[in-house]
């Protein structure tokens, strides 16, 4: 920080705005660097400059020259920066607490979603186990992956009539198991294969 002559400080303390501006120009870089080190935020450091110089403007006439102006300035800057940093930490902690509360509140729904998805996956797997491998492949590509008949024939390298035949047999097998009660009504509500399309 540039040295500020005593007469400039005295003039500024008596309300000389030109003298005060000289103090500002000589000291603002110092205030900024101290504030930045404490808060680790450029934006906060810039705000602190304004607060520090407002405090100096109001209190300069009380400065008794018992210590150097730099020491006094350092003390003011540090106190304001520390208070600002504490406010930042409190705000950050409130945000963290809020985020944790939101996550905690949403956990039951998220857990329910995961459980439902896993239940559906287990159910679909058990239904697919009822089919032979050829039927199973066709049903997966058609009902789960959403491929059309031509795309399935290309993927499996079989003709389109074979695709139709395997899908028909797979659907009939699932319907037969449904009629025998192997697939309960409750399970049918949750499973991913659309039975309306099986008819």
Which residue ranges make up each domain of the chain?
Answer: 6-95, 130-198
The Cα 136–Cα 142 span in angstroms is 10
Q: Summarize pLDDT for 41-64 with one digit per residue, the tens.
A: 889 999 999 999 999 999 999 888
The chain-wide mean pLDDT, for the chain, equals 77
Q: Three-state DSSP class for 159?
A: coil
Q: Summarize pLDDT for 105-160 with one digit per residue, the tens.
A: 444 555 566 666 666 666 666 676 777 778 877 887 788 778 789 888 887 888 99
Contact 126, 193 (CB under 8 A): no
Instruction: For residue 176, give both structure tokens.
Output: 């037969």
The Cα 49–Cα 39 span in angstroms is 12
Q: Which residue has the higher pLDDT, 197 or 42?
A: 42
Confidence of residue 168 (pLDDT cuts 50, 70, 90): very high
With CA atoms as reference, report the closest residue to 69 among 30, 15, 21: 30
Q: CATH topology for 6-95?
A: Rna Polymerase Sigma Factor; Chain: A (1.10.1740)
Q: Which of 11-20, 110-119, 149-158, 164-173 has the lowest mean pLDDT?
A: 110-119
At a CB cut-off of 8 Å and minimum separation 6, what does 90 contact? Answer: none
The Cα 45–Cα 60 span in angstroms is 21
The Cα 198–Cα 174 span in angstroms is 8
Per-residue confidence (pLDDT) for residue 123, from 0 to 100: 64
Q: CATH topology for 130-198?
A: Arc Repressor Mutant, subunit A (1.10.10)
Q: How far is CA 73 from CA 14, 49, 105, in A?
A: 18, 11, 48
Q: What are phi and psi of 3, to 5 degrees?
A: -70, 135
Q: Is the pLDDT of residue 196 over 70?
A: no
Q: How far is CA 17 from CA 24, 28, 162, in A?
A: 10, 16, 94
């Amino acid at each position: 920080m540039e040295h500020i002559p005593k007469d400039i400080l005295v003039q500024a303390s008596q309300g000389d705005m030109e003298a005060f501006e000289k103090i500002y120009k000589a000291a603002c870089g110092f205030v900024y660097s101290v504030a930045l080190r404490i808060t680790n935020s450029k934006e906060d450091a810039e705000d602190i400059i304004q607060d520090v110089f407002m405090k100096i403007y109001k209190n300069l006439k009380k400065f008794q020259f018992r210590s150097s102006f730099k020491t006094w300035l350092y003390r003011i800057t540090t106190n304001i920066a520390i208070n600002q940093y504490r406010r930042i930490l409190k705000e950050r902690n409130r945000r963290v607490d809020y985020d944790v509360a939101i996550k905690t509140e949403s956990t039951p729904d998220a857990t329910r979603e995961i459980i439902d998805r896993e239940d559906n996956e287990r159910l679909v797997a058990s239904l697919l186990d009822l089919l032979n491998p050829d039927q199973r492949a066709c049903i997966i590509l058609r009902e789960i992956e959403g491929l059309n008949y031509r795309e399935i024939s290309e993927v499996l390298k079989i003709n389109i009539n074979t695709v139709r035949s395997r899908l028909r047999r797979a659907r009939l097998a699932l319907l037969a198991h449904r009629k025998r009660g192997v697939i309960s009504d409750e399970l049918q509500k949750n499973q991913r294969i659309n039975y309306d399309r099986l008819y």
